[in-house]
Amino acid sequence: MIEVRKSTAILAAAITAVALTTVGCNRTANDTTGRATTDKMATTTDKTASTTNRATTGATTETAVAVDDAALTTKVKTAVLAEPGLKSTQINVDTKDAVVTLSGTVDNAEMKSRAVQIAQGVQGVKSVNDNLSVKTG
């Protein structure tokens, strides 16, 4: 996320530098078009910066969601691991848009219910999809 912001700032600075450098190239002592050219370049620079900002904001948001989902997955796995009796190696945890999906096999219905309850109790989890199965036999 920080790299995206740095890249955006560097890009905006480069565009501004080019714009300011090229503005004075065709200017004479009594040239009033230089001012118009400067205004056009400033507008172009503003539009480019705005477009770049929108693009990086979208990328930043997507990255933040992915990081949040990964963090939730880790929190749920940690909570399941801390629960006595649950074999966390038999429970898979996936997260998409703060919706946690539990899959795998547990020993009995009580453990299945407890795993779902633990996942629901993790802060930030919107809901839990229970795809756990109970061992038979």
| 39-43, 73-77, 88-92, 109-113, range with the lowest pLDDT | 39-43
Domain boundary among 66, 98, 118: 66
pLDDT reading at 112 higher than 90: yes
For residue 90, what pLDDT is reported? 86
**Can you give the residue range of the structural domain that contains 29?**
2-66
Same domain assignment for residues 8 and 50: yes
pLDDT at 136: 84
- What is the CATH number for 95? 3.30.1340.30
Stated pTM of the model: 0.54
- 129 - beta bridge partners? 101
Query: What span, in angstroms and rounded, lies between the C-alpha atoms of 11 and 51?
Result: 12
Q: What does the angle CA 116 – CA 117 – CA 122 come to, to the nearest 5 degrees?
A: 100
Query: Measuring CA to CA, how many Å separate 2 from each of 8, 9, 11, 88?
Result: 10, 11, 14, 34
Residue 28 confidence (pLDDT) above 60: no
Domain count, the chain: 2
